[in-house]
Chains A and B, each alone.
Chain A
Amino acid sequence: MIAHPPKVLVTKIGLDGHDRGSRVVASFLRDAGMEVVYTPPWQDIPAVVKLAMEEDVDVIGVSSLATDHLIVPKLMQALGAAGLADIAVIVGGIVPDADEAMLREAGVARVFHPGSALDEIAAEIGRLTRARRALNA
């Protein structure tokens, strides 16, 4: 069991601003009892790393609808460089099959595609949070 609820950063990096997915997921996770840090779209990678560190989040959820997932490997590198490799990163949105493999290779824990159930996303965040806290315990 988790002593306190998972803390998740829901964000969008890069250029695109389609934020329906990130808003719906963020509000669902909050209602599911999680602590949600939500940002508007267009975040810079250093700003996301800084926020993740300051807020001590368990998981970062990146929403990408228009190819911004292509810079997620840069986010993974920046997290590693900041000593935050224990924070799990999940990506949700429109990600072609070939790019999913590329993201997994870069260290992304899970890619959620359109049509994913919100319960499934919440369950995955729960699992990733338990794993991180076990690691840091």
Chain B
Amino acid sequence: MNQPLDAGKLSEGETGCERWQREYAASVGSAKPVRNRSGIEVRPLYTPQDWHGDYAADLGYPGQPPYTRGIYASMHRGRTWSQRQLIGLGTPLDYNARLLDMIDQGTTAVSLIPCNSVFRGYDMDEVHAELLGTCGVVVNTAEHMDQCLAGVDLARTSCAMNDPSPFTLLAFLLATAKKRGSDWRAISGTSNQSDYLSHFVANHMFFRIALPGARRILTDHIEFCNRHLPNWNPMSVVGQHMQQAGATPAEAMAFTLSSAIQYAEDCGARGMRPDAFLPRFTFFFDISVSLFEEIAKFRAGRRIWARITRERFGACDPRSWRFKFHGQTSGVDLTRQQPLNNVARVTIQAMAGIFGGLQSLHTDAYDEALSCPTEFGARIAVNTQNILREEAHLTDVIDPLGGSYYIESLTDAMEQKILGIMAQVEAAGGMYLAVEQGLVQKMIGASARGFQEQIESGEQTLVGVNAYQVEEGKSERQALPAPDPAKMQAHLAAFKAYKEQRSQAAVRTAQERLASAAGDTQQNIFERVVEAAEAGCTHGEICATLRRELGFGQPLVMV
């Protein structure tokens, strides 16, 4: 029951604010409080009364600490975010054809997602053949990597590898570079998925190596990269898995920052200087459809990291303070029902990431709740980014929502919430111990369950799922991009032949050296992984050696 402004009875001496409160209460009554996904109560209106921060200390200018408004002076106006769409399917030859096609269309960065068998540490002849190449490219050797990247100039192309411990894909890339005479110092890119803790708590894609071993390999990997690969980002701290597994946005940010602290402390304990490794830390987040909450999450995270790196680690190089992150729109928010609705969801998620100040973005295809994306779906996903950038003018103004009473107040509230969760992790002895004890898993499990209950009860509307349903026939969908069985058979046969033909003595020596490094903390395990890749060892052989020497990592799962 909205009344026109001048129709309200203005009592004697009533302020505008008081009048609004009275009229709002009259119109809405005592409605239930509204909370965002992180559990923060959201008021119906924000005014100057709701933000008491200090502009210079809490917001500042873009490119200046605490970076609330962005980590670079020019942000997206100077250089827009990178479009980093994940690709990976079938054999290395399939992958290469798709990659060269995307490079023709203007892609400047490689992203490679391997088959689940690779994530899990196996070669292609160790798993069910039906599963090969269905979710990523089957890369088991340096030769396969060379095929994947045929025609790609390694010195000029940034390569993001979805490459969990023990980082064999990077080892294969380095072997390929050496073979081609490409200088390692020019190789640039990121070891995505190097955050083993996130695998233990949320996304059990690959952690057959027990926690202490996984911890050591990561630190060895960072140390190696710092020494030999000045343009490589060895550390990608991943909040995405946790939020996809059910963590609230505040929890996901808190756990990610706690993990980053853990990794930085482990590097420090190894004798590395903060300014030697922090500039190469990157972050990777999920972006849900909860628009303002996500924007505030990123702004708060940036501010917290700038303070931690300076105050806790004493970093002096501004590059150490910058919170560089890649965002991926949330697949969990997408619905199978009326799948085209997902185009709208992905658009909102992408906007949240862009307003949140991301450095690179992957937009999901609308059909990801049905299967791996079709080419049609993938094209809409890319064009969603193009439309937001070129047509909607989202890059014109830096941090365009900065100064909004709501956004600033919410950024502060999210910051407090995040710091509170980080304090719980700290009290458990830090992220490593909190994960070992199951604390993080319990919190994520409870949040996942809570959100599902809100959907079941109808408290959280999901369009097409618990509201606005329609009768749907089987959709007329394009053929799925499935790997060609004949090509996969040929790939498998060539792999078996390769194993027969290579120098068995060199392979055996490399495996022995790797095993010896695993038992000797004076040696760098990742250096031996690179040697093994160069000697012709396969991914499965490298992983098997390390599993045997460092122990098997059981999933830490509880219901």
- List residues of chain A with CB under 8 Å of any chain B CB: 14-20, 23-24, 26-28, 30, 36, 38, 40-42, 66-68, 70-71, 74, 94, 96-98, 113-115, 117-119
Contact = CB atoms under 8 A, between A and B. Distances in A.
Nearest to B115: A15
- SS class of chain B's interface: helix, strand, loop or mixed? loop
Given A17-B204, A17-B205, A20-B332, A118 B127 contact: no
Nearest to A73: B130
Nearest to A67: B134
Contacts of B477: 97
B116 interface: yes
B117 A24 contact: no
Interface of B: 116-117, 119-120, 122, 127-128, 130-131, 134-135, 199, 203-206, 244-246, 332, 334-337, 369-372, 445, 448-449, 452, 456, 462, 464-466, 474-475, 477, 480, 554-555, 557, 559
Contacts of B120: 15, 17, 42
Contact of B559 (A38, A94, A98): A38
Contacts of A40: 204, 554-555, 557
A42 to B, nearest CB: 7
5 contacts: A16-B135, A18-B204, A98-B480, A114-B336, A115-B336
A26 B559 contact: yes
Given A67-B135, A117-B456, A23 B448 contact: yes
B119 A15 contact: yes
B456 A23 contact: no
Contacts of B456: 117-119
B369 A94 contact: yes
Given A19-B204, A115-B465, A42 B128 contact: no
Contacts of B372: 67
B452 A113 contact: no
B335 A94 contact: no
B559 A15 contact: no
A16 B475 CA distance: 26
Contacts of B480: 96, 98
B131 A68 contact: yes
Contacts of A70: 128, 130-131, 134
A24 B397 CA distance: 42
Nearest to B451: A24
Nearest to B372: A67
Contacts of A26: 559
A15 B131 contact: yes
Contacts of A30: 559
Given A19-B555, A24-B448, A71-B131, 5 more contacts: A18-B204, A18-B205, A24-B452, A40-B557, A67-B116
Contact of A23 (B205, B445, B464): B445
